[in-house]
Structure 1
């Protein structure tokens, strides 16, 4: 009974309250980061980010109170022994486990659709959120808040800045023609150039038995050329049986 009562001792309750405050702060920061992703229509939203930050903080902060583990057994020994017990906790091992686990979670939001890869920014921001949770768990509140603000600014503001800077856009175009109506490669290159794109890579495939000729083109354009004119041209071309246009990244 004494051991059971030790779980509800004043010292144990005070420790639980302090841990709970850490978790509330981590949850608030995670929800804030998740809202930015939800606002931009990403799959991982407030719940995902809130739980990642909360769990990272929880696993880290409990490691700071080894003398209060298992009902505060460490408080029943001498002060020197309790101090030695406090030094027994090793947050670096917990951090390694968190980073490994969040790595699997981040890999789950990265999707490949043909030649396009999506979700890299979301995976990176989930990993950053776990780091913020670890920082909160270690008690560096000012650094955690500063890191959260910088992370939000990077996710929200850098993409428009990237568009303002000189850059090139890459899109992937797949065209399917009947075998007897397949155009010459130089004709495809000329049509792409007329719409502001340059063919930088290509692959051709003749489907056996179907009589269809498939062209996979990687198009590159300066800045952000509008692909709608190219889509209209492809949609009105009788020789095109099927086409697919997708950006290289989002």
Structure 2
């Protein structure tokens, strides 16, 4: 009997192969997230990938043994339904910083890998799994490099008074950098050991440096401004 043909049929051996492959690929992706201490880690990715695999194998079983079914129907429900799980990993912090987008996208991608494995599309699943791992690991330093060379910066600033913040604005004007956007936050809770004062004001400021000053030099000089009690650059996903 042709071995290649057997691998694409639904039998005891292929069921075990698909389950093991789903656990392996889902686990590899989950390990990368888990090592970075993200909400969804090893077990979550394995379960998502394995569950999707089971859905497609069940769909294939129903189609082959009962007939009349659409072999893609259950898989389509997974594609749309996984969004609820992914949305649970996306957080908007008290600094208006969005976190968890990469994890949510990774869960959706892991579900797609599981669907490919479940239907016997091994080549696509393996190639897709490798691509996801490379994107999550190798492209992170590239993202930081691109972000570091960008002239735009999103800032989280705590000033002790309105006059101190006006002094910051004058500092920006002297450097001829552009304030793109500015928001004031009435309530603030700092995600650090910094103790806040009720008179302090929190600002979210988007600035374009126009490459007139190096980003790190700008940050250092702002931190040394009188009346600026806290400063942080906000990084995206």
* Normalised TM-score (structure 2): 0.74
1:77-156 aligned at under 5 Å gives the runs 85=66, 87-113=67-93, 114-156=95-137
Measured in 1, the distance between the counterparts of 2:86 and 2:186 equals 37
- What's the CA shift string for 1:92-125, capped at 9, x where partnerless? 2211221222101111111111321111111111
SS of the equivalent of 2:37 reads: coil
- Aligned partners of 1:204 and 1:213 also within 8 Å: yes
Shift of 1:132: 0.4
Measured in 1, the distance between the counterparts of 2:142 and 2:13 equals 43
Structure 1 gap segments, 5+ residues each: 1-13, 69-73, 75-84
Residue among 217, 220, 241 paired with 2:205: 217
1:1-250 aligned at under 5 Å gives the runs 15-66=11-62, 85=66, 87-113=67-93, 114-165=95-146, 167-178=150-161, 182-183=163-164, 185=166, 187-192=167-172, 198-204=178-184, 213-221=201-209, 225-226=215-216, 229-230=220-221, 232-233=223-224, 237=226, 239-240=227-228, 243=230, 245-250=232-237
Structure 2 gap segments, 5+ residues each: 1-9, 188-197
Structure with greater helix percent: 1
SS of the equivalent of 1:91 reads: coil
Q: Which residue of structure 2 lines up, in the alignment, with residue 80 of structure 1?
A: none
- Aligned partners of 2:63 and 2:71 also within 8 Å: no
Measured in 2, the distance between the counterparts of 1:125 and 1:195 equals 41
Cα RMSD after superposing both structures: 3.3
Residues 164 and 216 from structure 1, CA distance in 2 versus in 1: closer, same or farther, beyond 3 angstroms? closer
Measured in 2, the distance between the counterparts of 1:233 and 1:94 equals 58
- Aligned partners of 2:59 and 2:72 also within 8 Å: no
Q: How many aligned residue pairs are there? A: 212
If you compute each CA radius of gyration, which structure gives the higher value, 1 or 2? Answer: 1
Measured in 2, the distance between the counterparts of 1:224 and 1:216 equals 20
